[in-house]
């Protein structure tokens, strides 16, 4: 039983580390702010969750496990909120997403109508 717990915890820790590294590569490889935020937030939340679950298996039933549960809950609730706030701040500062030639003018036209008070 102890050997199965060790194998499961290391599998979780290694897979969590893999997702964190994939998120880091996404930060480097993606072309703009919004896709970078998406790559980082999705993979880091999953990676951190798997890492913390692996650490919980390593710790067994103890106070450390309870602390890790609180840490996981805090991270799961705050990471998406921070990403959303960052995206809204970027939109507020008119950081335009790369959408392609056909979709970009329609977005700009709609935003200018909303800013001027005319909605259609």
Please report whether residue 120 resides in a domain: no
The pLDDT value recorded for residue 64 is 93
As given in the structure block, the two tokens for residue 15 are 């897979």
Is residue 8 one of the residues assigned to a domain? yes
In a domain, 33, yes or no: yes
| Terminal C-alpha separation, the chain | 65
* Count of domains forming the chain: 1
Residue 52 in any domain: the answer is: yes
> Would the pLDDT of 4 be above 50?
yes
Q: Is the per-residue pLDDT at 57 higher than 90? A: yes
More confident residue, 43 or 120: 43
Length of the chain: 120
Q: Which domain holds residue 100?
A: 2-115
User: Cβ distance 48 to 20 under 8 Å?
Assistant: yes
pLDDT at position 115:
58
Residue-wise pLDDT tens digits, 13-45: 999 999 999 988 888 888 888 888 888 888 888
Residue with tokens 């980082």: 40
- The answer to whether residue 103 sits within a structural domain is yes
Contact 72, 46 (CB under 8 A): no
Cα–Cα distance measured from residue 106 to residue 18, given in angstroms and rounded to the nearest whole number = 39
């Amino acid at each position: 039983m102890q050997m199965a717990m060790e194998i499961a915890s290391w599998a979780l820790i290694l897979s969590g580390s893999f997702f964190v590294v994939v998120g880091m590569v996404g930060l480097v490889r993606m072309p703009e702010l919004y896709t970078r935020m998406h790559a980082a937030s999705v993979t880091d939340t999953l990676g951190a969750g798997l890492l913390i679950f692996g650490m919980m298996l390593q710790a067994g039933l103890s106070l450390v496990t309870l602390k890790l549960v609180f840490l996981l809950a805090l991270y799961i609730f705050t990471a998406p909120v921070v990403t959303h706030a960052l995206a809204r701040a970027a939109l507020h500062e008119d950081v335009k997403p790369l959408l392609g030639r056909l979709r970009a003018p329609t977005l700009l036209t709609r935003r200018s109508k909303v800013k001027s008070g005319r909605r259609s």
